Amino acid sequence: MRRTIVLGGLVLMFVGLIGWGQEIPREKTLIIATGLQPSTLDIGVGYEAAAINVNLVVYERLVRYRPGTVEVEPELAQSWWVSPDGMVWTFKLHPGIVFHDGTSCDAEAVAFSFQRVMAINLGPAWMFEPIEKVEAVDDLTVQFTLKRPYPEFLQVLANIFGTGIVSPTAVKAHATADDPWAQEWLSTNMVGTGPYKFVEWVKGQHIILRRFEGYWRGWGATKNNIEQVIIRYVMEPSVQRLLLERGDIDIAMDISADDWELLKGRPGIILVEEPSMHATYLRFNCAAGPTADPRVRKAIRAALDYKGMIEYVLRGHAVQMQGPAAIGLPCHNDQLPLPAQDLELARKLLAEAGYPNGGFTLEYVYESGHEDRRRVGELLQASLSELGIELKIIELPWPDLWERVSAADPERTPAIVANGWWPDYADVINFLYPMYHSSQWPPVAFNIGFYKNEKVDELLDKCLVEVDPAIRCELLKEVQALIYEDCPDIDLYHLTSRIALRDWVKGYVYSPIYTEGFFLYDMWLEK
């Protein structure tokens, strides 16, 4: 009997203490579950989608993408102007901006942040390569002098990687002789000017952010009542679903296609699905083997069952691509045809290329973990077998795949590589130059199929320095048409971005560039 009482007492104490006395109540806390944990929080080093959610609200940039769009709007800068030759960019800051450590965010701090990224020279630094120097003209005016005109510079400044302004005082306080830019400290700490400040990162478990009361825009005019944000790392998607259903989290970032169907129409849960700018391609080896012949490449393009791909392989969670650049970006060429399956055309093209009955084998390589790409391979395999072409599907982990496609020898490159691309900023040149300019052949960069068209190279070179937006846009559209005609790859699909929220979360707007991010300042909870 005594034992029962003791046990019962213990249980009661246990249950009672679990939900006892919390500093910030659950109703004022937004909990987001995601499977992606960043490797580092350092804004000057990190270059991965996993850090977008924290970077977007802890740090601020000179300019940003307006929520829900790809248009650039002011953030820390209130205005800017560019010299007629496109070589000097000047930004005027808002007055009275403070960092989370209480120090003031002035032009010196902005210049310092960019100097830091360029000196570290990792991850996002490639985007700032055209910067000759950046300096403070006065307290609120910062000036960038470029090595060459950089038409997409404003877009680059709005991108999330490497552009956040970090407190120089905090960096200097933690710098050492071996580590002059305080990389070690900033890899687990953040000091920005954003509406939320960093509190803690318990690795593998969560990051906690808290509302920054001294935020320069003030809190008076917003509906925001979110005092605390907890980003929980939940790797298993089915567990995210359970947590969301019980209301233990407010937002789930990774809901599987199966669970998505089950959650449809469930009271209290809102599902947001938007086409993303993430592009999936099948890249051909244009320099060796049968696919060196454009007719063979086009035959394969005509063989794929696109309708089946979207409906069955991707279960509707994707949009077919139109040309090599993402739909929705400025200067995307929307006059290009959408390829459709046409086996007769495929046979005709193969016969013209000298393979009336097929009779060759191609390698199809994809990265481990991308089930969609495996299933697209199987779909293509079925179609190609009707044409007498055998497709050998090979799965490789990322480092191995990269080893195969970064060799300078086209003979070693597989005939077809399934590959993805994500724009850092909203400009089609971010797709076209790295993947289709012949200066970007392996081992340099991402033209992994050794594609070369002198006209494309010439036009792209012009686009790099053309400062007239209208002329540049025409050139970029022409490049897309030329690439489509040469068929160095099959432009497959844009996967949709799926986010599930509880209905008490208000004010969420999807951002096509900061896909994993939340404009928390404009959000609130109604519980």
Full 3-state SS string of 45-61: CCCCHHHHHHHHHHCCC
Q: Is-contact 195 228, C-beta < 8 A? A: no
Q: Among residues 64, 100, 116, 206, which is the contact residue for other proteins, using CB under 8 A?
A: 206
Site string for other proteins, 418-457 (x = CB under 8 A): ----------------x--------xxx------------
Residue at token pair 């490449």: 297
Shortest gap between Cβ of 320 and other proteins (angstroms)?
Answer: 25
Q: What is the DSSP letter of 27?
A: G
- Quick check: 26 binds other proteins (CB under 8 A)? yes
- Quick check: 81 binds other proteins (CB under 8 A)? no
- Quick check: 320 binds other proteins (CB under 8 A)? no
DSSP for 369-399, written as a single string: T-HHHHHHHHHHHHHHHHTTEEEEEEEE-HH
CB count in 10 Å sphere of residue 346: 25
- Quick check: 183 binds other proteins (CB under 8 A)? yes
Gap between the Cα atoms of 289 and 309, Å rounded: 26
Shortest gap between Cβ of 118 and other proteins (angstroms)?
Answer: 11
Q: CA 235 → CA 34, 230, 239, 420, 512, distances in Å?
A: 7, 15, 8, 22, 24
Shortest gap between Cβ of 159 and other proteins (angstroms)?
Answer: 12
Pick the closer one to other proteins by CB: 274 or 400.
400
Q: Among residues 103, 222, 341, 406, which is the contact residue for other proteins, using CB under 8 A?
A: 406
What size, in residues, is the chain? 527
Residue at token pair 């391609």: 281
Stated as kind and residue range, the H or E segment containing 169 is helix 168-174
Binding positions for other proteins, 221-240, rule CB under 8 A? 230, 232-236, 238-239
Gap between the Cα atoms of 86 and 101, Å rounded: 35
Pick the closer one to other proteins by CB: 184 or 342.
184
Considering only the stretches 26-34, 62-70, 340-348, 448-456, report the one whose residues sit in contact with other proteins under the rule CB under 8 A.
26-34
Q: Is the peptide bond before 324 cis (omega within 30 degrees of 0)?
A: no
- Quick check: 246 binds other proteins (CB under 8 A)? yes
**Which three-class secondary structure state does DSSP give residue 168?**
helix
- Quick check: 257 binds other proteins (CB under 8 A)? no
- Quick check: 416 binds other proteins (CB under 8 A)? no
Residue at token pair 């580590």: 179
- Quick check: 252 binds other proteins (CB under 8 A)? no
Residue at token pair 């579950």: 33
**Which three-class secondary structure state does DSSP give residue 89?**
strand
- Quick check: 404 binds other proteins (CB under 8 A)? yes
Q: What crossing angle do the helices spanning 429-436 and 454-465 adopt, rounded to 10°? A: 140
- Quick check: 202 binds other proteins (CB under 8 A)? yes
Q: Among residues 84, 204, 218, 337, which is the contact residue for other proteins, using CB under 8 A?
A: 204
> How deeply is 343 buried, as exposed, middle or buried, from its count of CB atoms within 10 A (0-12, 13-18, 19+)?
middle
Q: Among residues 243, 382, 394, 465, which is the contact residue for other proteins, using CB under 8 A?
A: 243
Binding positions for other proteins, 108-137, rule CB under 8 A? 121-127, 129
Shortest gap between Cβ of 65 and other proteins (angstroms)?
Answer: 20
Q: Which residues contact 403 (CB under 8 A, 6 or more apart)?
A: none
- Quick check: 399 binds other proteins (CB under 8 A)? yes
Shortest gap between Cβ of 14 and other proteins (angstroms)?
Answer: 5
Q: Among residues 352, 363, 400, 461, which is the contact residue for other proteins, using CB under 8 A?
A: 400
* Residues near other proteins (CB under 8 A): 13-14, 17-18, 20, 22-24, 26, 29, 31, 39-40, 42, 45, 47, 121-127, 129, 183-184, 187-188, 200, 202-206, 208, 230, 232-236, 238-239, 242-243, 245-246, 248, 397-400, 402-404, 406, 434, 443-445
